A and B are shown apart, each in its own frame.
Chain A
Amino acid sequence: MKKKELIFVLLLFVAAALFYGVTAYQKKASDVAAISIDGTLWKEVSLSEDGTYTIETPQGYNIVQIQKHTAAVIEADCPDQLCVQQKSIKQPHEMIVCLPHKVVVEIK
């Protein structure tokens, strides 16, 4: 079988697990999601208050929903819909990206 290649991939898994082990170790609980458009901060929203925010960009809109301390993009008019398909986020560093609209939602 493809033993060498399989071992190579498994080594990659171990390296990534170590990286995330280290970042998880440094992790603090977070309460803020930062929403930015084209690299500039648009709004910081609290994760403890449920609500929806509509982000208007020159290219289109995204609707971010905050619910039970998680953030998710529930609607957008971008062609690929990748941001909507993405899982909701709650851990620090996690982010949702909408490339067509250059929108980034990041947990601080």
Chain B
Amino acid sequence: MDSRKIAYCALLSAVALLLGYVERLLAVPMVVPGMKLGLANVVVLLALYLFDAKTALGISLVRILLSGFVFTGFASFLYSGAGAMLSFLAMAAFQKTKRFSMVYVSIIGGMSHNIGQMIFACIAVENIRLLYYLPILLVIGGATGFLTGIVGEKTIVYLKY
């Protein structure tokens, strides 16, 4: 790992943390529990394409840990951690096949984030009926994944490592 890569990773982690914060400031009405834009997903997606799965995982973990400590608290840390890990695994798997465009990978990421969160939330509150919200969350995750995927695709052109 050369210093250029270290600087890149630090920069991406900082951007991911900040995007998570900016997203919190945006007053998006919460129609269903657990919905959010997932702007930070752009960064993990970019890392996945710029570097490799290991680096993307590192950046994702740093972001979740830091935003848990700084902004959201322990419960949200576990909750979004579960989502982010599943989302990372799915994105890495789909990206590795090379058969899907960046936007598709991002859509998969958004949807699996919601699945991971949902599984964790069901276990945490011991209420399986939360799954009632899963279809709508998958749609929201798919739609936001689509948008962040486009952002990622437009951005990566300027970010050649």
A residues near B (Cβ < 8 Å) are: 2, 4-6, 8-9, 12-13, 15-16, 19-20, 23, 36, 38-39, 78-80, 82-83, 85-87, 93, 95-97, 99-100, 102-104, 106
Complex contacts, B157 vs chain A, CB 8 Å: none
Per-position binary interface string of chain B over residues 60-85, scored 1 when its CB falls under 8 Å from any chain A CB and 0 otherwise: 00000000000011111001000000
Q: Which of A8, A39, A96, A97 has the most CB of B within 10 A?
A: A97
The size class of the interface chain B forms with chain A is 20 to 34
Q: A2-B150, A80-B75 are in contact. List 18 more A-B contacts (CB 8 A).
A: A5-B101, A5-B146, A6-B146, A13-B143, A16-B136, A36-B127, A78-B73, A80-B73, A80-B76, A82-B33, A83-B33, A93-B129, A95-B129, A95-B130, A96-B33, A97-B34, A97-B125, A104-B125
A43 to B: closest C-beta gap in Å: 15
